[in-house]
Structure 1
């Protein structure tokens, strides 16, 4: 057992890199665990700011019941009443409409133990497979591709392979922002070995391209054609491994014939991919001549109606060259969530069973049924995510339990998802946060434990199982998800199957099932972890599965050429390129692409509370090529409405040459808690991959048009505001203060009275200052309490609004001086005070203007010199591409002067 004051080693709850975290005290910032194999002490800015997310503001602390007739009046109830109600409503629904009338929708944010109990309850004892996960939205195409090619959902390599490789191909992955620590490992190796080559395949020129020797900005959706072309090129140039293909694979002739027929002509292929022939040949030549090649692929590949085929087109090229599971070689699926892999292990997807067992195999179904002693085990796959909510909308799903996810924001055609929840007879939401876009529609809200409070395991993208350990007591009546699920299982009449007293008991059962009647036909096997007592489980060090002997994990798999297929051979899969399901048109002439930004995560329920993370990109935006902005009538910095056949949103326009013409990009994170109208999921078309069920988040026809308003402004406040008089707003949480960007329409008779009403400032408040310039539409106001700045508001043409960073710094002052009051009234520093500008480096709070000044005044020439001068870029490194861009801009300005 740990000593009372010993540091707690746990795991970051963000992306699939699975970084180890060290917490020395609840009151001190977290830092990276130097001994964890995933990160060796590194943390990205989100991980470094985890300590800022531990506050209780907005936490769901007690079970709550909602009366739909009075949805804002939530009633606190005790746990017994809540659990009885869940069990009774689900039991009644099942009795009246059958087990397929109920569903669970869960999350890659769950720990493996939570996931296991949820799947056991639904599939084993309720008797339906209607349990799916938000991991369906990010990596289910990879799962399907692995199973088609390898026979099992296997990621063959480990992170070390990126450092051993001579060629790293990053496909559909903005690794610099989405998996920063892994990206920094690649950066460090590239600096050590400059001859190492990096290829980035992405329609956008993302920050990841900062590292690239070659960027292929291919046309959206042309990935299958690109890799079919590579396969055909390898065959034409005799660059395959014939002995490997003959000894260890099957289906090569059909795959080659398809590749040659669809992508064998390089000129036609270049035209289809909208690349130059020279770039194609360079990539193909590098791949052919480089034995140690790793291809990392992520959401840009998976999130497509042809995502599974894209995965297999990549794997085909690695099979053809014999580069699977060898040091420095292999295809590598990078998952998005901290426990997407753990969910796959326990059957978190509706079409799989636990322990990599399958519905399609009667013997495997029988295996799970006997192990669980579950005679009602579901016999067929359940509904995948999009289909599940469609069935709810149609009235077929009558009760749903949503755990640790926010589908009203994250699913495609999200307005239809919201309506599906309104139509559903009974909605249960288990969450950490009291108010989300989804929880607003819950009949029953159940308080879950958060990161830092719950105990269990997660599995990262390299199959590494790590402990997530609690380091503080759960607040209120928050409970582990596994406990809540088990208690409902008992109330449904299955007490003998859900007698768990701790997470380690669940993990032991999970490990035993992986080994049950497994004579090596399934590679997922944790027999070496069976029988861990509480102390051994608590002390469990990170280890990659399979674990066949105690303490002995596995770095790589499939390197011996033996695959978990009936004939032991890997399968080539013929992949034929397809055109988009929804092409652009005169009404919707642009292609909407969605994705992440550097400092936010999913729907911002955690990162939105961290002041460090709010300032980098503080409002929803839409990136547009300048040429498209001109033809569509929108301006850089203005607001625009983005519309598709399914919905619309409003966001700030950013003109970016990094995009191809005809594309726009909108982040996935903003929701109704942080912006008035910015849920991009509402715009995304609901078409899915027919094999994996993964939605097409990267290709929705769209249009963009100016969002007209009469006035705009910015406000900061320590309190809440009245938003109803604003046509548009976006909010970000900073240190002790909220910042709002806003716009309005119509005339305001008394701007002072309006400002006080919006800010919630009582007319009797004595310390209120304001400035009016009615002729130019300018209004400034500030309120003070006990000598501190409480709120400030500015309305003006957007170019005349004050520096946000400068305003935020005023709120950090213990007392406001007379000079400060004058500055606030003027909306600018009085005297020579420097404005550091918009934040670039979140880790060390370094602004753009400060970096530019340092570059110019000290003649800095490299990111390392900037880091040495200002620290910027010296922690997670995610801002280094932006720093490099500022260096280039300054150099160009100097040459032009």
Structure 2
């Protein structure tokens, strides 16, 4: 059997081919026929088959922490929600949902809350990543429409990447772009980012802008376009607001950007001299207190020049989640209505209410994410249902969110995992089906709708989210409107409603699939909307036709915002790393995805580290008034003095104090409601460790030391450890940690140096080991973890391979498990003097290519140049 589906990670929306072997194992490869990836996969997608285990899965409903049954759990949730609505009104309840839901699940949640409960208190974690794009699109275009297609990046002559680490966050798009540049070396790539990221390796020009200066930069570009005759008068005749936008841009012409005159002139010159320009932007733009204005500053430049909606030109928002777009299409945001209709428009509301035969309809926008959880904290929301997301970790000021949920009258969580920071706070937890078990569709960043298909049964009592929602709706008295028997029926209803919306002027129209049969739905191939009898896919706005009341596009006057005033000396930037996704619910199951970066870290400039007494690989407290985190120091010039960076992925389940959102201030964009996740003010303090450790175990364990970070390893688990005061008896401490009271122990110790090394065996199997030192532990982690489950080697406690045995070193290429020592040896031997040569000899960098910037850096550092050749 072969199943075609879609990857569950980022918004690229890669197609995958799944081949179950009938014995419980599967292989996952890229789908060569899918238009998004043409067979490519990133490291995360390549490891999907390694993430299907049932460890940690939630398999039964739970009430008050105890196993229950479906009827009891569904009845309780329906009763408690009905009671809240009767006593306090519909706005006393809320749903917080996720861009990882399938469109059909999202549609049902939106229908239940807005059309039957009668409140718009449904918002999504997409509010944290793409809300500013939505707001900017709606201001400029009259609709939340992405104008272009992925191929525009390949067709452009200049590609501008703004606030987008494409190489790590959207690796397959990065590879498509890299391949296009290889075919056409004359293509110019510009990266605008205050941080030196992996994406910069592809750039012809890196503009290391001052954080937050995007509006100033694009306003200066708009002024230059106007002053040097680069506008498109014919297109501007189809655009309102040009004079006001240009006047506002002139008023901020001297606003600082942090760029040299030379770099600024180069950027402006490339824009002026090139028609086919694509501007790709992502979280570095959106996650800002001025995110919507940043989006409109970019859109203004494209509208003023008519560089939109035609091959190789246009603004392009790349989404972070697999179905952020699908959520936007069904109205998953609190201020939207399904099919891109307007919740503030009475005609739109009436049309949807009539189509649904709904008893009521939300009459105004609901609470956006930050305001929603503030209402939980204040007791205005009495019951909240959280679906497929982990706000106790991901929301800004997350410690405050945890306190609010702990005090809330009634918390429901639907999740596939039993123990998360959020499920631990729930009164009822529903076991949800996850990728590979559920049926539905997703929409990627270029408006391509693809199917996710099940290839295995849901374990235990797990159910798909729409079935759980429909079960509660039926118990609230609305079974007639929630009586679907399949995802195909929901999709058909959604498609029919899109035809109603199109007749009201909406851009979103997939009415060609109205009445789709289950067989056609099962066979549905990827397609780009719109999908109607008259039109199939394509670009928007190239002819100057927009979805505003006047039919014209709108340029929006924007002005740079002043930097936040703070007494704290460091600005914290946050983001993703290459091989992990969100809070690691899935990627954390794969040992090789943790092999590259296995613990939370803080990038800090060498000057700042020196001033604060922070040594390389030591630990550092990062703190402000909202919370604190304890992270490994990564001293690097990738960040500038006064700026630090930390990844978002670690939770209370995987680290002692790695939750970065605890530090993010709940300061939001006034238009979009999106939090500013790139500008928290923090301070740093070196952690005075009395000991450091590295531990491995064949059985799951949870450290209790001051610092710990837990990750999967081949055959078990690994952990980085540290503490202020060492235990008095290391052997007893380790036995308790690993749960092996009768195991045979081998030990090496040197009290003078603070060195302790312990290996625990049961029979002829190594089951656990602990390595302790006064400084960060130096050993071959790959070699040590590979020994789990095997017969103990006499030299194991040396922590290094024996003489003549290879040590691959820290993983660089996660796709093929190629380590830094292997790569360095090939370079020094002259077998890997280019990335292509390394790929040919070691396979490194030949799959997703996200490690290629690291490979280039290693080549530059280690290649031997003959004396007669220039370096």
Q: Taking structure 2 as the reference length, what is the TM-score of the superposition?
A: 0.98
Give CA-to-partner distance per residue, 1:605-657, whole Å, 9 cap, x none.
Answer: 11111112011000000000111111222121100000122110000000111
Answer whether contact 2:306 2:542 (CA < 8 A) is retained: no
Measure, in 1, the Cα distance between the counterparts of 2:670 and 2:723.
Answer: 44
Determine which of 2, 5, 8 is the counterpart of 2:3. 8
Q: Which residue of 1 aligns with 2:304?
A: 320
The verdict on how the C-alpha distance between 1:461 and 1:517 changes in structure 2, with shifts beyond 3 A counting, is closer
Q: Which residue of 1 aligns with 2:712?
A: 733
1:93 pairs with 2:54 = no
The verdict on how the C-alpha distance between 1:737 and 1:459 changes in structure 2, with shifts beyond 3 A counting, is same
Answer whether contact 1:722 1:760 (CA < 8 A) is retained: no
TM-superposed deviation, 1:800 = 5.1
Determine which of 371, 388, 391 is the counterpart of 2:372. 388
Determine which of 280, 283, 286 is the counterpart of 1:302. 286
Moved more, 633-642 or 510-519: 510-519
Measure, in 2, the Cα distance between the counterparts of 1:217 and 1:573.
Answer: 26
Q: Which residue of 2 aligns with 1:51?
A: 49
Determine which of 120, 144, 155 is the counterpart of 2:146. 155
Determine which of 759, 766, 770 is the counterpart of 1:789. 766
Q: Which residue of 2 aligns with 1:349?
A: 333
TM-superposed deviation, 1:737 = 1.3
Q: Which residue of 1 aligns with 2:791?
A: 815
Measure, in 2, the Cα distance between the counterparts of 1:735 and 1:814.
Answer: 12
TM-superposed deviation, 1:814 = 4.3
Determine which of 23, 27, 34 is the counterpart of 2:18. 23
TM-superposed deviation, 1:757 = 1.9
Measure, in 1, the Cα distance between the counterparts of 2:837 and 2:850.
Answer: 16
Measure, in 2, the Cα distance between the counterparts of 1:279 and 1:460.
Answer: 34
Measure, in 1, the Cα distance between the counterparts of 2:866 and 2:671.
Answer: 54
Q: Which residue of 2 aligns with 1:604?
A: 584
The verdict on how the C-alpha distance between 1:76 and 1:173 changes in structure 2, with shifts beyond 3 A counting, is same
Answer whether contact 2:60 2:460 (CA < 8 A) is retained: yes
Answer whether contact 1:722 1:757 (CA < 8 A) is retained: no
Measure, in 2, the Cα distance between the counterparts of 1:409 and 1:894.
Answer: 52
Answer whether contact 2:437 2:457 (CA < 8 A) is retained: yes
Q: Which residue of 1 aligns with 2:819?
A: 847
Measure, in 2, the Cα distance between the counterparts of 1:753 and 1:499.
Answer: 58
Answer whether contact 2:828 2:864 (CA < 8 A) is retained: no
TM-superposed deviation, 1:876 = 0.7
Moved more, 527-536 or 859-868: 859-868
TM-superposed deviation, 1:103 = 0.3
Answer whether contact 1:20 1:41 (CA < 8 A) is retained: yes
Q: Match of 1:776, SS? A: coil
Aligned counterparts, 1:409-808, within 5 A: 409-516=393-500, 518-519=502-503, 521-549=505-533, 553-580=536-563, 582-585=564-567, 588-721=568-701, 723-724=703-704, 726-762=705-741, 764-765=742-743, 767-798=744-775, 801-808=778-785
Give CA-to-partner distance per residue, 1:776-813, whole Å, 9 cap, x none.
Answer: 111111012231211111111335532111112222x6
Moved more, 553-562 or 437-446: 553-562
Measure, in 2, the Cα distance between the counterparts of 1:892 and 1:311.
Answer: 46
List alignment gaps of at least 5 residues for structure 1: 67-73
Answer whether contact 2:92 2:380 (CA < 8 A) is retained: yes
Answer whether contact 1:514 1:525 (CA < 8 A) is retained: yes
TM-superposed deviation, 1:751 = 2.1
Answer whether contact 1:713 1:801 (CA < 8 A) is retained: no
Q: Match of 2:746, SS? A: strand
Measure, in 1, the Cα distance between the counterparts of 2:490 and 2:101.
Answer: 14
Give CA-to-partner distance per residue, 1:169-194, whole Å, 9 cap, x none.
Answer: 00000000000001100000000000
Measure, in 2, the Cα distance between the counterparts of 1:186 and 1:593.
Answer: 25
Aligned positions, number: 866
Determine which of 236, 252, 265 is the counterpart of 2:242. 252
Measure, in 1, the Cα distance between the counterparts of 2:739 and 2:203.
Answer: 51
Measure, in 1, the Cα distance between the counterparts of 2:592 and 2:309.
Answer: 39
Q: Match of 1:338, SS? A: coil
Answer whether contact 1:584 1:591 (CA < 8 A) is retained: no
1:104 pairs with 2:84 = no
Answer whether contact 1:780 1:827 (CA < 8 A) is retained: no
List alignment gaps of at least 5 residues for structure 2: none
Give CA-to-partner distance per residue, 1:175-222, whole Å, 9 cap, x none.
Answer: 000000011000000000000000000000100000000000100000
Measure, in 1, the Cα distance between the counterparts of 2:585 and 2:50.
Answer: 13
Give CA-to-partner distance per residue, 1:17-56, whole Å, 9 cap, x none.
Answer: 0000000115232000110000000000100101111110
Measure, in 2, the Cα distance between the counterparts of 1:200 and 1:464.
Answer: 26
Q: Match of 2:210, SS? A: coil
Answer whether contact 1:584 1:590 (CA < 8 A) is retained: no
The verdict on how the C-alpha distance between 1:239 and 1:393 changes in structure 2, with shifts beyond 3 A counting, is same
Measure, in 1, the Cα distance between the counterparts of 2:538 and 2:146.
Answer: 10
Q: Which residue of 2 aligns with 1:77?
A: 68
Q: Taking structure 1 as the reference length, what is the TM-score of the superposition?
A: 0.95
Measure, in 1, the Cα distance between the counterparts of 2:61 and 2:385.
Answer: 14
Answer whether contact 2:657 2:707 (CA < 8 A) is retained: yes
Measure, in 2, the Cα distance between the counterparts of 1:158 and 1:46.
Answer: 23
Measure, in 2, the Cα distance between the counterparts of 1:681 and 1:893.
Answer: 46
Give CA-to-partner distance per residue, 1:850-884, whole Å, 9 cap, x none.
Answer: 11111001253211111111111111101000000
Measure, in 2, the Cα distance between the counterparts of 1:374 and 1:850.
Answer: 63
Q: Which residue of 1 aligns with 2:829?
A: 857
Determine which of 253, 258, 261 is the counterpart of 1:277. 261
TM-superposed deviation, 1:465 = 0.4
Aligned counterparts, 1:122-141, within 5 A: 122-141=113-132
Measure, in 1, the Cα distance between the counterparts of 2:730 and 2:418.
Answer: 34
Measure, in 2, the Cα distance between the counterparts of 1:493 and 1:211.
Answer: 57
Q: Match of 1:494, SS? A: helix
Moved more, 422-431 or 801-810: 801-810
Q: Which residue of 1 aligns with 2:861?
A: 889
Q: Which residue of 1 aligns with 2:839?
A: 867
